[in-house]
């Protein structure tokens, strides 16, 4: 009857919270900080607290509501809630089972989190986010998009195509669709559900895909997997979960040894070479990107991308391939791709004038970073460009600082800020300086977020690209305001 989310501000967690809220259940949660996303959830009627204290949990989600009236009480003072009635002689775990409270948590929540410990110690029913999502996919036909990078854009494109067609779908997305201003899409007529299949902590092993896409298998999350080989094994296991009669789409040329049954059909796709599904006759210019979509049966000419970035071509091919095999027509494919508005924080334009352009991108893996920079360089070949990069995680910086430096060196001007730690504690000797030392760009700076605006004022540029999976995007309004004199 009630769902409480630990880490409700996460992009995956928030989608599930919205799902249960839409289904009429009571929903609340905790997160460490208030963000645009958590404030949107609050506006939708979801109670969120930002204090890691048991007292901050709403009474009903602690198993204390109507039962309070049935027991003698004594009041106690809470630093968060003030005077609270506390039931005597009543075991919370017993009351919890009566009230059917489910606590959903993300692996990013530390084991010493006080709210987490409260629910564990008092016998509440608890499930990881991935397990809950897995249960949902077993009730529907899951279209699961996996990969080191590209999965958010591909899953959001897939959902948009299906939503704009006669087929329709449900969707749990890893980003906020700018077409729908949400990461959750619901349908009352379709049993298809688009899922972003997250490999972190092997979360995607909870899924039962009807169709699956694997966009890339470049090494990542080595703090979890240890080696690239173990990472690849995890993707191989994911393919074994595809149901009989299902389909696997694999980006041509990636490292993968599929482990599907002989009742699963495998297709390849590509944005740059011939495959089962591929893009051909690509035309880029005048702010437009158009190509032909080639399937095993036909050629669908003149597909225009609403977000005209080269990296989106292969994502679009994968998304259209999934939609095509689910019955979306050629005209519906063209119309939906042209109207695709993109995803918040995925090559997201915040300012676009003749004198200044500001773009934000979520890229946090070296391959993503390189692709993002190449896209900017192609779009603005005659402009002065500066990139501001916020590394995400100490372990990822330690494992890939050579590759990050090589990617950043594609730009003339580079600014690095401090590492965003997320769930991690600092690692001795691992700082943004590791990356900066190997960057070969003629102009490079190391600064703090607090000094970022002053640093940018010392540089000459026409295009600013902020990149990273941390909180660098929260500084964009201040950055844009500080650069108004250039507009």
Per-residue pLDDT of 438-464, as tens digits, reads 999 999 999 999 999 999 999 999 999
Per-residue confidence (pLDDT) for residue 69, from 0 to 100: 37
Alpha-helix runs per DSSP H in 100-227: 114-121, 129-139, 151-163, 222-225
Global pTM reads: 0.74
Q: Which two tokens stand for residue 90?
A: 């009543």
Q: Measured between alpha carbons, how far is 269 from 324 in angstroms, rounded to an integer?
A: 13
Q: Which two tokens stand for residue 76?
A: 């106690």
- In tens, the pLDDT along 52-74 reads 999 999 999 998 764 433 333 44
Residue 31's Cβ-count burial label (10 Å; 0-12, 13-18, 19+) is buried
Domains of the chain in sequence order: 2-128 (3.40.50.720), 140-339 (3.40.1190.10), 348-486 (3.90.190.20)
Q: Measured between alpha carbons, how far is 281 from 225 in angstroms, rounded to an integer?
A: 40
Q: Measured between alpha carbons, how far is 251 from 392 in angstroms, rounded to an integer?
A: 26
Q: Compute the radius of gyration of the chain from its Cα atoms.
A: 24
Q: What angle do CA 65, 68, 70 make, to 5 degrees?
A: 125
Q: Measured between alpha carbons, how far is 340 from 350 in angstroms, rounded to an integer?
A: 17
Strands (E), 245-347: 247-251, 265-270, 277-285, 288-294, 299-304
Asked if 31 and 8 touch (Cβ cutoff 8 Å), the reply is: yes
Per-residue confidence (pLDDT) for residue 88, from 0 to 100: 41
Q: Which helix (H) or strand (E) holds 348?
A: strand 348-352
- In tens, the pLDDT along 92-101 reads 444 555 468 9
How is the chain split among helix, strand and coil, in percent rounded to 5? 35, 25, 40
Asked if 143 and 136 touch (Cβ cutoff 8 Å), the reply is: no
Per-residue confidence (pLDDT) for residue 422, from 0 to 100: 83
Distance of CA 448 to the CA centre of its chain: 25
| Residue in 128, 122, 123, 124 with CA at minimum distance from that of residue 109 | 128
Per-residue confidence (pLDDT) for residue 65, from 0 to 100: 61
Q: Measured between alpha carbons, how far is 126 from 3 in angstroms, rounded to an integer?
A: 10
Q: Which two tokens stand for residue 11?
A: 């992009």
Q: Which helix (H) or strand (E) holds 437?
A: helix 433-438
Alpha-helix runs per DSSP H in 207-251: 222-225, 228-240
Please list the ranges in the chain whose pLDDT falls under 50: 66-90, 92-94, 98
Q: Measured between alpha carbons, how far is 482 from 454 in angstroms, rounded to an integer?
A: 9
Distance of CA 3 to the CA centre of its chain: 22
């Amino acid at each position: 009857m009630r769902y409480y989310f630990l880490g409700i501000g996460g992009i995956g967690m928030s989608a599930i919270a919205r799902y249960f809220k839409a289904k009429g259940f009571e929903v609340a949660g905790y997160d460490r900080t208030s963000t645009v996303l958590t404030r949107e959830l609050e506006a939708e009627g979801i109670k969120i607290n930002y204090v890691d204290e048991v007292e901050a949990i709403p009474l009903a989600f602690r198993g204390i509501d109507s039962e309070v009236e049935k027991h003698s009480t004594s009041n106690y003072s809470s630093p968060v809630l003030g005077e609270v009635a506390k039931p005597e002689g009543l075991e919370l775990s017993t009351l919890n089972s009566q009230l059917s409270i489910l606590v959903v948590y993300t692996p990013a929540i530390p084991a010493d989190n006080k709210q987490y410990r409260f629910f564990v110690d008092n016998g509440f029913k608890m499930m990881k986010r991935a397990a809950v999502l897995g249960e949902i996919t077993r009730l529907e036909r899951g279209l699961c998009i996996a990969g080191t990078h590209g999965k958010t854009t591909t899953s959001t494109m897939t959902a948009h195509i299906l939503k704009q067609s006669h087929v329709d779908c449900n969707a749990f997305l890893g980003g906020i669709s700018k077409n729908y201003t949400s990461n959750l899409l619901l349908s009352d007529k379709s049993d298809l559900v688009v899922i972003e299949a997250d490999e972190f902590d092997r979360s995607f092993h909870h899924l039962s895909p009807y169709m699956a896409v694997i966009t890339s298998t470049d090494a990542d999350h080595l703090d979890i997997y240890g080696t690239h080989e173990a990472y690849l094994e995890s993707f191989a296991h994911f393919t074994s979960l595809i149901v009989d009669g299902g389909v696997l789409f694999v980006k041509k040329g990636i490292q993968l040894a599929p482990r599907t049954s002989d009742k699963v059909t495998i297709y390849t796709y590509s944005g740059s070479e011939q495959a089962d599904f591929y893009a051909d006759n690509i035309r880029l210019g005048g702010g437009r990107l158009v190509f032909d979509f080639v399937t095993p049966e036909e050629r669908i000419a003149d597909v225009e991308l609403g977000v005209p970035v080269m990296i989106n071509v292969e994502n679009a091919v994968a998304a259209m391939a999934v939609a095509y095999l689910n019955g979306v027509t050629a005209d519906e494919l063209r119309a939906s791709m042209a109207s695709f508005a993109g995803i918040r924080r995925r090559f997201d334009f915040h300012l676009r004038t003749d004198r200044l352009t500001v773009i934000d991108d979520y890229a946090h893996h070296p391959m993503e970073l390189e692709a993002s920079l190449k896209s900017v360089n192609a779009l603005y070949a005659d402009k002065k460009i500066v990139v501001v990069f916020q590394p995400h995680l100490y372990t990822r910086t330690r494992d890939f600082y050579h590759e990050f430096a090589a990617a950043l060196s594609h730009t003339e001007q580079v600014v690095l800020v401090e590492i965003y730690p997320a769930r991690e504690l600092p690692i001795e000797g691992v700082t943004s300086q590791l990356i900066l030392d190997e960057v070969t760009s003629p102009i490079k700076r190391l600064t703090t977020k607090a000094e970022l605006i002053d640093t940018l004022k010392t540089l000459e540029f026409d295009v600013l690209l902020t990149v990273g999976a941390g909180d660098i995007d929260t500084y964009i309004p201040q950055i844009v305001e500080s650069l108004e004199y250039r507009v």
